Chain A
């Protein structure tokens, strides 16, 4: 692992946060969100702010931007100095002038961070409209120039495109272009690559580093991904509960963390070393998929139809008690496969055998008795539970559909709660009263309530913090041990796949490019695409949990 190991101690300070405190306002009680934090960033330096959700990372960045939500959060103390000038002294107009000109920010979700009804060219140009008095031709020239600097292809065409016509990576490049067009002193990047595929993430990280080098920009990079930290950070600040736990140069922090919390955080980072495949329990697979194909016809009223092959000729089988992972980037067809198997969408062709029955072509009524054998856990635990229903009602709905009495079902639900490590009285509460990790446990309990043979987990831990992720993965493992379920695990995260999968299927453009044991796929990849995926995984040569280089075999 090559760390950046650059020394900035002789460079002038770009941003200095001194004793910054932020608290909630407007509510009945004042809650401290940030408690007197100190951060220093020098010219050209990349400071990573890491921590789990709710640690105050984003609040810190919004406070620097002066964009704390009015009426709910307020700075209660401290200073935020940009080149010696306290930003908290500025009035609204002066602070607005600072944005984009001196401090810029890019956000996590490039899909939603751009205005869908304006061309991206106009959105970049708006920065110039707000802060400069350039002529139309000069403005366009500047915009085209920065778009070339962020390596967008076919700049003239993209200039006039709308966000929905661009890919996620291209949109994030637009965001970066927008942020850097006025060469600000400080760039705040709030999880800018979290929503991107690994290969795209890699390119965007390189781009930020390149532009930082060229313009000498100080970067405050907020992330929860330790792999990214290892790749790009000069200095790391660890946050928890609105406080800075510790800060150190990146290599020092990863090799010899001083605080217990930092050690825990690093220890929770899943390793890229795959588990050894477990022995199959018996010969007949729980789920057997053959030649699964899903083709979408897009037909215009006046145009000829076009076909999109979302999944083509997908074959795999999962034995009882085993886990098969499907990995791939967005658009590779992995979720299409999951939805076909659940029959949430209808496959165009192929077989889906659950036990003895082929469910690929069954109609609604004929499918009904088979539904309970196969259950799904979705990615976003905040949206997959009905907010108006109690946990109990959500949990027993399936059981009632299959003829259990309400009392019986509730008793069963209580047992399930204990099985997934939640108290029984959780049944009477509503989803918003639980954390993300707890909700995902509930979603798992709901899925296994039906005693399924197969559990489909579609990015089931992707929205969770690493420590919670580790717990949920462990829960899945334990349940599999107890109930002998076959798990189909869809993920884009190779680290997670390495932790839980016996076998791994790699998909690209709707096809399987590689299928083998996790050990072979991740340890000795045969296909170029698999290799590219593994190489793009940030921090892959660092063993976070053991604070050292990964032992190479």
Chain B
């Protein structure tokens, strides 16, 4: 068990190394002078020279790589070209809203999607099943920003139940935070719920045909326990996998959702950086989102051993 966890953690190292090298090369191998790309069209030769100096561009490529990775380990992600602030500070200011919305969305999605999927499988080929599946197809095919605007139109503008947009920190006003978080979370959750519910249903359908489910029923166990204790735990591994891989959808969804709801998170930071060609920030964002993605999937890999005692590879 411990060996498995250690091996999973060690396996993260090469993945992150490849991502880091890719991010490093992203700027260096772009056609043209990196300094010119960074400085923009209206730069003076003196400015270019200063940027070249700060990036160490006169050194050979592998020396630059070592220097850059050394800086990464010291928590130095460079300086934003636009605001001239350290990238770490920029991220530090913007990451909390995103983490809050993101965590809330994951919890909300799992709480909605898993019971929906279980219900659909249990009532296989009834109207319940068809309703869940229809929702799932819709949720998956409508773009995130469209869902966001539909929710705003219905709940904020027509019904006036919730604010249209904005963000309020939970440390200042918890109620205001939740009121403003509901719509972005629901928007972000739709596609995720669709995905997880679908996988839960498929996985449960397979498990419900297993002999041990019949055994549980033959023991006179209540149907609720048959479904959630016996079937769901056996169906959990594919569901966890899809929660992990589907996390990528969440990351791209965050960028759109934060723009729609005007939330000052790292999604917005990324969009702004891309529009301004603020390369150090873009690089940092790629590194950060990859790291989060890898970390979440590491947790999920480790969670397998909790769900299935047979997994010991």
Please report A residues at the B interface, Cβ cutoff 8 Å: 65, 67, 71, 96-101, 104-105, 107, 109, 112-118, 126-127, 130-131, 162, 164, 175, 178, 300-302
Q: Is B212 within 8 A of A112, CB to CB?
A: yes
Q: Which of these, A117, A164, A178, A300, contacts B234 with CB under 8 Å? A: A117
What are 24 A-B pairs with beta-carbon distances under 8 A?
A71-B125, A96-B220, A96-B221, A99-B218, A100-B218, A100-B220, A101-B220, A107-B211, A107-B214, A112-B210, A113-B211, A113-B214, A114-B215, A115-B212, A115-B216, A116-B212, A116-B234, A117-B308, A118-B230, A130-B220, A162-B310, A175-B215, A301-B3, A301-B7
Closest chain A CB from B305 CB (angstroms):
11
Inter-chain contact B221/A114, CB cutoff 8 Å: no
Judging by beta carbons under 8 Å apart, are B234 and A115 in contact? yes
A118 surroundings in chain B (CB, below 8 A) = 229-230, 233
Q: Which of B1-30 contact A (CB under 8 A)?
A: 3, 7
Contact A114 B219 (CB under 8 A): no
User: Chain A's nearest CB lies how many Å from the CB of B240?
Assistant: 13
B201 to chain A, nearest CB (A): 17
- Most chain A CB within a 10 A radius of its CB, from B210, B214, B220: B220
Kindly count the residue-residue contacts between A and B in the assembled complex, taking CB atoms under 8 Å apart. Answer: 76
Please, how many angstroms separate the alpha-carbon atoms of A112 and B209 in the complex?
11
Q: Is B309 in contact with A117, judged by CB distance below 8 angstroms?
A: yes
Q: Is B62 an interface residue, CB under 8 A from the partner? A: no
A-contact 0/1 string along B181-211, CB 8 Å cutoff: 0000000000000000000000000000011
Tell me which residues across on chain B come within 8 A of A126, comparing CB atoms: 216, 219, 221, 225
Q: Provided the pairs A96-B222, A302-B3 are in contact, do residues A116 and B217 lie with their beta carbons within 8 angstroms?
A: no
Taking a contact as CB atoms under 8 Å apart, the answer to whether B220 and A67 are in contact is no
Tell me, in angstroms, the Cα distance from A365 to B136 when the chains sit together: 49
Which residues of chain B have C-beta atoms less than 8 A from A127's C-beta?
A: 219-220
Which listed residue, A67, A71, A98, A162, touches B214 by the CB 8 Å rule? A67
- Please name all residues of chain B whose beta carbon is closer than 8 Å to the beta carbon of A71 when the two chains form the complex: 125
Q: Is there an interface contact between A131 and B210, defined as CB atoms closer than 8 Å? A: no
Given A117-B310, A164-B310: 20 more A-B contacts, CB < 8 Å: A65-B218, A96-B221, A96-B222, A99-B219, A104-B218, A105-B218, A107-B218, A109-B211, A113-B211, A113-B212, A113-B214, A115-B230, A116-B309, A118-B233, A126-B221, A127-B219, A130-B221, A175-B215, A178-B215, A178-B219
What is the CA–CA distance of A164 and B309 in the complex, to the nearest angstrom? 9
Is B307 part of the binding interface, using a Cβ–Cβ cutoff of 8 Å?
Answer: yes
Residues on A with beta carbons closer than 8 Å to the beta carbon of B310 = 116-117, 162, 164
Number of interface residues of B (CB under 8 A): 24
Q: Which residue of A lies closest to B233 (CB)?
A: A117
Give the docked Cα–Cα distance between A116 and B234 (Å): 8
CB-CB under 8 A from A175, the residues of chain B are 215
Given contacts A117-B307, A178-B219, contact A300 B3 (CB under 8 A): yes
Docked-complex contact A113 and B215, CB < 8 angstroms: yes
- Chain B hits for A107, CB < 8 A: 211, 214-215, 218
In the bound complex, CA of A168 to CA of B233 (Å)? 23
Instruction: Please name all residues of chain A whose beta carbon is closer than 8 Å to the beta carbon of B222 when the two chains form the complex.
Output: 96, 130
Q: Are B218 and A114 closer than 8 Å at their CB atoms? A: no
Interface centre among B211, B217, B219, B309 (most CB of A within 10 A): B219
Contact B220 A114 (CB under 8 A): no
Residues of chain A within 8 A of B125, CB atoms compared: 71
Contact with A along B301-313 (1 / 0, CB 8 A): 0000001111000
Contacts of B7 in A (CB 8 A): 301
CA distance in complex: A395, B287 (Å): 54
Most interface-central of A104, A117, A130, A131 (chain B CB within 10 A)? A117
Query: Which residues of B, 66-125, contact A by the 8 Å Cβ criterion?
Result: 125
Q: Chain B contacts of A114 at CB under 8 A?
A: 212, 215
Partner of B220, one of A109, A131, A300: A131
- How many whole Å from B271's CB to the nearest CB in chain A? 43
Q: Which residues of B contact A117 (CB under 8 A)?
A: 233-234, 307-310
CA A113 – CA B222 in complex, angstroms?
A: 18
Nearest A-chain residue to B308, judged by Cβ:
A117
A130 touches B219 (CB 8 A): yes
Q: Sorted from nearest, which 3 A-B pairs have the closest CB atoms?
A: A99-B220, A112-B211, A115-B212
Neighbouring B residues of A130 by C-beta, 8 Å: 219-222, 225
Known A-B contacts A114-B212, A115-B215; the reply to A98 vs B220 at CB < 8 A is yes
Q: Which residues of B contact A99 (CB under 8 A)?
A: 217-220
The interface residues of chain A lying within 8 Å CB-to-CB of B210 are 112
Residues of A near B230 (CB, < 8 A) are 115, 118
A86 to B55, CA, bound (A): 86
Q: Closest B-chain residue to A99, C-beta based?
A: B220
| A6: min CB distance to chain B, Å | 28
In the complex, what's the smallest C-beta–C-beta distance from A259 to chain B, in angstroms? 32
Residue of A nearest to B216 (CB): A115
A130 to B211, CA, bound (A): 19
What CA separation (Å) do A101 and B220 show in the bound complex?
8
Contact of A116 among B3, B219, B221, B308 (CB under 8 A): B308
* CB closest chain-A residue, reference B313: A301
Instruction: Name the CB-closest residue of A to B220.
Output: A99
Q: For residue A131, which residue of chain B has the nearest CB? A: B220
Instruction: Kindly state the separation between the CA atoms of A164 and B219 in the bound complex, as whole angstroms.
Output: 20
